[in-house]
A and B are shown apart, each in its own frame.
Chain A
């Protein structure tokens, strides 16, 4: 079973306590944006076979959101971190680089 450490309340939560909330670090576009930007934000997804950044909600725990870096090809978890950020912390990036050299995601790597 997938377990993730919730950085908000410190619990190592089973996936049954969590709800997956889709891709993380989406750049949001709203009114006054172009149709293409809004379409990409709303529907297009990276969906990589490999390193994936994603949002989770600790629904049956503290109820708060956090982010996780995980590999969709092996289900390996590289780490979790607070949601109030536009980019993963350096420690998470280093952990990924150690196992998956050359990874990249949108604007950062």
Chain B
């Protein structure tokens, strides 16, 4: 793999850009791999990458039903933060956030990580108490966040109306090193690095069955034929229940649609990410100038990657009150993704009832921010059988009543 650099751009400029090579190979599947990862989204590719980088396991296939990064990795609002209440969450999300800081150098691929700061607005007395509590918890966890006043919010986001009649801004939880990154580039960067390590990324190949010998996995059936493996990682987000059923177990997950939308591009007007959980809308401005807007999930099970229009209306209505200047913006695009939501709104990184199968799912409405941390922890879990970062995120925690209850902490799915 040739490295990307300023010199490479100059070199290619002199020869009409004829020297760029494919970013990743397009192989046919081999008969057998040490590890198969199902799902070439951010989490799956990151898992494969850290298996190779941290544990030297490179006889790996990443199998993808569609195209890589075409699921929720390419459908989110790219927000990165780690200001969670519970210790296990803070640990894995902060690991992810810190890995984002050096990801472009690590992967030799510009993922455009922009630590522009994230504010979560407090618009009720309850939220003030909740976010102050989170700020204290973050201080103990070593995650740098702070509680800021309404005046400071206004300084950071001049376009915001903090005196709204219904939900005035009463303060905010501010994480200065949170921000955004280019979501596609994260998937592409990991894919290129995995391919360079000799891993096979097999796209447009659907897993149709999981082959077992007793209680142990021995391989998968796919639309490109059977492939053997010693270990299998299921990293398929919204379709986790469907794939688990093929392996003969169930997951405490329900799949629902989450939507996002972007406006027409405008001049730079907001250089932080703002989340308003009471009215349930969040917004940031992309480098192209589009306002990127996300809202809440639909309430019912859904696999169609499209949601209900009234959710978009509710989200935009709430944001117009807080950001009056967006009222006249036209919306360019809207899309939906299928998110896998658990009972406590925390993810599952776990062994399963089938020996050799590991599952990474349940990131629900907030998985993008966790991609590198999730991959790092999942790789350790798959290579060594345990990881300090995944210990609390077992799928068996529901049986024990050991919830990691971020749904209470956030008040909403997050």
Using a CB–CB distance below 8 Å, which chain A residues touch chain B? 1-2, 15-16, 19-20, 22-23, 35-36, 39-40, 42-49, 52, 54, 70, 72-75
- Chain A residues near B330 (CB-CB < 8 A): none
CB-defined contacts of A2 to chain B, threshold 8 Å = 300, 308
Once A39-B398, A43-B343, A72-B302 are accepted as A-B contacts, the answer to whether A1 and B250 lie under 8 Å apart by CB is no
A72 to chain B: which residues have CB within 8 Å? 255, 301-304
Instruction: In the A-B complex, list the 3 residue pairs whose CB atoms are closest, starting with the nearest.
Output: A20-B299, A47-B241, A43-B252
Task: Give the residue of B299, B303, B308 whose beta carbon is less than 8 angstroms from that of A73.
Answer: B303
Distance (whole angstroms) from the CB of B90 to the closest CB of chain A: 24
Q: Is the CB of B299 within 8 A of A19?
A: yes
A/B interface sample: 5 pairs, CB < 8 A: A1-B310, A15-B310, A23-B254, A47-B253, A72-B255
In the complex, whether B399 has a CB less than 8 A from a CB of chain A is yes
Query: Is A42's CB under 8 angstroms from B301's CB?
Result: no
* A22 CA to B250 CA, complexed, in Å: 16
Which residues from 367 to 414 on chain B have a C-beta closer than 8 Å to any C-beta of chain A?
398-399
The number of residue pairs between A and B whose CB atoms lie closer than 8 Å in the complex comes to 67
Contact residues on B (Cβ < 8 Å of other chain), bracket: 20 to 34
Confirm or deny: B327 has a beta carbon within 8 angstroms of a beta carbon on chain A.
no
Q: Mark B281-300, 1 if CB is under 8 A from A, else 0.
A: 00000000000000000111
Decide if B239 is an interface residue (CB 8 Å cutoff): yes
Q: Is the CB of B250 within 8 A of A44?
A: yes
Contacts of A23 in B (CB 8 A): 254, 301
B156 interfacial by beta-carbon distance below 8 Å: no
Residues of B within 8 A of A44 (CB): 250-252
B14 interface residue (CB < 8 Å to A): no
Inter-chain CA distance A43–B346, complex, in Å, is 13
